[in-house]
Chains A and B, each alone.
Chain A
Amino acid sequence: MKRLAAFAIVLSGLSTLNAQGVIVSGASSGRYIEVRPLVLDSVPFAQTDSAWGAYRQTSSGTLVRCTTLDAYCTFFRSAQRQSLVAMMQDIDVTGWGFGEGVSVHAQLRARTAAGAARELWPQATQTFDALAAYVDVDRSFARVRAGRQWLSSTLGVFNFDGLDLSVRPASFLATQLYAGGALVEGLNRPLDAGALAPVEDLPPSDRAYLIGGSASVRRSGRGSLNLQYQRVIRADRAALYSERVGGTADLNVGPATLSGQLVRDLAMGQTNELAASVHSPLVFSFDGGFTVRHHAPYFDLWTIWGAFSPVGFDEIATDLHYAQRDGAISLTANASWRSYQDTHSGLSFAPLRSDGWHVTVAGSARLLASVRADASYGADVGFGASGTNGDAAFRWSPATPFTIALRATAFQTIDEFQIGQGRVVGLGADATWEISPMLRLAADAFLYRQAIKDRPELVDWNQRRLNVRLEWSIGQGADERPWDGIIGKARGAP
């Protein structure tokens, strides 16, 4: 209720201050989803046969778990198909003209879900969310941002309630200091027990403050360097939740770009990310790159996970792209191979796989002036999950405001450490209609069918999905559209 009131105040403030320009854009979306949640079931012990270890199996081959002296064995199975309709309303407000460089921004989200399986939809009960709400004062040499905001940084993208001061003492130099109350990514709520209790049985004992800073040197066209430091401290200052440093660097050497990245967890003394890559245009409209990377997972100190000595992996990856200048044909291929460090754990005579690889090839071709075909194939093999998948799409754009696409997909169904039991094929269509420069309607529908290898008795994964999305923008000076931008342009990727 307080948030709604705050939103109302922001909106009324925009009108009373007679802002020079206000853009309000929104996205209203509705989704119909069918799911089969897993439920625990049982079978009489007498109807099972011995398999291996603690496991037994039913006559149809389903693995069950039996506890000594219990009359029944248990196993998980898919429940009856359930459906839900999830609705989400995003509203973005940007107002400016309150003075030189002064603007206000708000990004708000309302959501709800209906149907028998409504509880399955994440955050269905959190009906209102303020993702961002801040005042921005931007002058040529400095910018101050106060309120709920997001930071994109070497250390990731995170949100906080606080103050962000950026100073640009020279055209090639930018410095930034920020501080405020830390928030849980995705929840947009303070880092305390109340926010995490539904999913974490040992939540942090207190809220936290975040403080950090960065310095960037950018020589346009030459390269750039960024260094960042950040720490998250428990509100009572009795403990540290995280302390990290990061750095990135880019350097253009002729047509090639060299990039490097380092993220280090000072608290655990572990390097989470160390990468170097080179990308360059090649011959005949080809460009490609090569990356060497070390990755290790990062965990905040309010969890015990870091004490389990997680290891990282070293990876080499390469990618190759071809795009005709007129865009008629484009091809992409990338591959990577990773090798995990020694865990000093497990069974020496029955080790788990300690490497993995990944390959993807994709292509796109304009068959006719208004018809485009896309296809991709990917294979991912690793110690925990492996699978292959393929996609194909035909996109027809009969006129500028209309786009219709037919899609087909096939992929292996995966449970961790249970691979390739089934294969899902899907057929669907999506369409967009740009009703006006400020109004766009998009919809898609998919039908999935599962074929389970040698297990006809298993309940299928068959399901239908439907999405409808209306994007709109109103306001003075609103000559840009919310779905534009490079991310939007990748929407068609299969």
Chain B
Amino acid sequence: MRLLTWLAALLLSATISGEAQQRARFPHDKHAKLFPTCASCHAGIVAGTADRAYPPTASCASCHNDRDAKAVVWTAPARQATNLRFNHPVHAAKSAAEGGGAATPCVSCHSLRGDTAWMRVGTARAESCIGCHTHRASEHLAETAACTTCHTSLANARELPTAAIAAFPKPATHTQPDFASNHAPRNEGEVARCATCHAKESCVRCHANASNVRAIAQIASDARVASLMQGRTASYAAPASHTSTEWRLTHGADATKSIQRCANCHTRPSCTSCHTGSQNTRAARVIATLPQPAPHGARGVQLEGSRVHAANFLASHKTSAAAQRLDCAGCHQQRECTSCHAGASSRRFHAVDFVSRHAGAAFGQEQTCASCHRTETFCRSCHLKSSIATTGARSGVAHAGQPSWLLQHGQAARQGLASCTTCHQQRDCLRCHSDLGRKINPHGPDFDASKISARNKVMCMTCHLKDPLVP
């Protein structure tokens, strides 16, 4: 029985397809009654002599001579390129030594799935190998499969055409969500397993640090794979850890701890698209250890344009900046702050024509104007020059539409005094609200004169001719 098994193994075709078993082009089943053994035609396979692996073409004519049977044209199939390590003579010899039968071993591998009739044969199935060899897995492409038992490395399978490589089946493990972050081989055995189907170019396509990874260096380069990879952009699946809402806040610690792990997918521009700040920060020094994109290598994950801060961050960043919740300097240069906060006319913060319609936002203090602009200089200088501001008139251009403005302006001033100061200077108010003016008291009911006087009596004396706190 064992001999039969080994003889069947002799008939393993050059190429094994684990998924689709193909019928041989020679109609074996129609000749089932003519040939009692496999070796009568394929003796060379057992003996290891290629010229006798298939019967001569002329042997068909002994029957197919248009007299006994219709003449046919048959040629032996060319030897197919393969990456199999399988050796028919060795297996045949071992089967013979173990006392196997004559034909059964051929049939056990080459019989069609579920059909044991004599000479119903096709190309061998990978599962046939698993029957004897320690595969440590239940199926051909299992995660724990020991590929190198039956397969040579891709680099050594020099005759294998590029199309055959492109048609390699993809193990189910490769499509699992965490495969991108967990596929690194842990030992040389696993490297060899990867090298069954992959060449260095497979790795270089995505790994920005390919030249620094020992496992990748151990895998040979291959022109066929290179041609397959040409023009294919790298695809990076975000590891589960990266999808956390806190990742953008906490990734610095992980990067500092093991930046080389980051370097598998990230080049320096991945970081500097956000980390545009000082070169002297710890983050900058860590980032500097990442590789730059190689001219023909992987560019690394492209993060430019990705959303780092929350959608409303531009308007609400004050709290985070002040509390140093984020290391602003890690990403931003100070000039990015001063391009707005220095009162420059940068339009990066405000809309393009904000100057034409900023009044509403100023009254509402949607963003606190005084965080960036000093009303006495920035606002007033423009309002004065464009004549929006008055120079002392009690009813200027801005209030011409208010018939009772003189009586109403107290409420307006207390509600929006910051806006008043964008046009009016102190002396405008002193005309009425001072000892030298009309002596109209501008203080509210909760005004505490002693509190101000204790800090700056000079301010009191701007309006009062003598210290108001001294009876």
From A186, A356, A413, B378 is in contact (CB under 8 Å) with: A186
Majority SS at the chain B contact face: helix
Interface string of B393-418 (1 = CB under 8 A from A): 00111111111110110111111111
Q: Are A302 and B388 within 8 A (Cβ)?
A: no
- A115 on the B face (CB < 8 A): no
CA gap between A387 and B319 in the complex, in Å:
29
How many A-B contacts if CB must be within 8 Å? Answer: 424
- A161 on the B face (CB < 8 A): no
- B20 on the A face (CB < 8 A): no
* Chain A residues in 8 Å Cβ range of B26: none
CA gap between A422 and B403 in the complex, in Å:
20
Q: How far is the CB of B194 from chain A (nearest CB, A)?
A: 31
**Known interface pairs A54-B395, A415-B398, A489-B305; A336-B366 also in contact (CB < 8 Å):** yes
* Chain A residues in 8 Å Cβ range of B452: 267-268, 301, 306-307
Q: Are B352 and A224 within 8 A (Cβ)?
A: no
Q: Are A321 and B352 within 8 A (Cβ)?
A: no
On chain B, the number of residues with a Cβ less than 8 Å from chain A's Cβ atoms is 133
Q: How far is the CB of B254 from chain A (nearest CB, A)?
A: 11
* Chain B residues in 8 Å Cβ range of A369: none
Name the residue of chain B whose CB is nearest to the CB of A189.
B377
Q: Are B403 and A53 within 8 A (Cβ)?
A: yes
- B250 on the A face (CB < 8 A): yes
Q: How far is the CB of B292 from chain A (nearest CB, A)?
A: 8
**Known interface pairs A261-B319, A487-B314; A494-B333 also in contact (CB < 8 Å):** no
- A35 on the B face (CB < 8 A): yes
* Chain B residues in 8 Å Cβ range of A485: 274, 276, 331-333, 336
Q: Are A269 and B448 within 8 A (Cβ)?
A: yes
Interface string of A259-290 (1 = CB under 8 A from B): 10100000111000100010101000001010
CA gap between A240 and B278 in the complex, in Å:
35
* Chain A residues in 8 Å Cβ range of B363: 356, 382-385
- B246 on the A face (CB < 8 A): yes
From A52, A94, A220, A246, B250 is in contact (CB under 8 Å) with: A220
CA gap between A446 and B354 in the complex, in Å:
13
- A59 on the B face (CB < 8 A): no
CA gap between A256 and B365 in the complex, in Å:
26
- B17 on the A face (CB < 8 A): no
Question: B304, B338, B373 — which one has the most chain A CB atoms within 10 A of its CB?
Answer: B338
Q: How far is the CB of A264 from chain B (nearest CB, A)?
A: 13
**Known interface pairs A196-B376, A383-B363, A383-B415; A493-B351 also in contact (CB < 8 Å):** yes
Q: Are A63 and B412 within 8 A (Cβ)?
A: no
Interface string of B299-315 (1 = CB under 8 A from A): 00000110111111110
Q: How far is the CB of B135 from chain A (nearest CB, A)?
A: 41
**Known interface pairs A96-B279, A484-B273; A185-B385 also in contact (CB < 8 Å):** no
Using C-beta atoms within 8 Å of the partner chain, give the interface range for chain A.
Answer: 35 or more
* Chain B residues in 8 Å Cβ range of A323: 307, 311
Q: How far is the CB of A382 from chain B (nearest CB, A)?
A: 5
- A179 on the B face (CB < 8 A): no
Q: Are B426 and A53 within 8 A (Cβ)?
A: no
Q: Which of B53-83 contact A (CB under 8 A)?
A: none
Given known contacts A156-B372, A309-B444, what 18 new A-B pairs fall within 8 Å (CB)?
A: A37-B387, A90-B344, A157-B337, A185-B341, A186-B343, A199-B376, A216-B324, A228-B322, A250-B323, A303-B376, A311-B415, A321-B312, A323-B311, A350-B407, A383-B416, A413-B356, A417-B399, A486-B314
User: Mind listing 22 A-B residue pairs with CB under 8 Å?
Assistant: A38-B386, A55-B403, A65-B400, A101-B280, A103-B280, A109-B344, A152-B341, A157-B341, A185-B372, A186-B342, A220-B249, A221-B250, A250-B319, A304-B430, A304-B462, A307-B452, A309-B445, A350-B408, A352-B411, A407-B352, A409-B353, A482-B335
9 tightest A-B contacts by CB? Answer: A309-B444, A346-B411, A186-B343, A380-B360, A345-B410, A385-B359, A321-B311, A76-B397, A343-B414
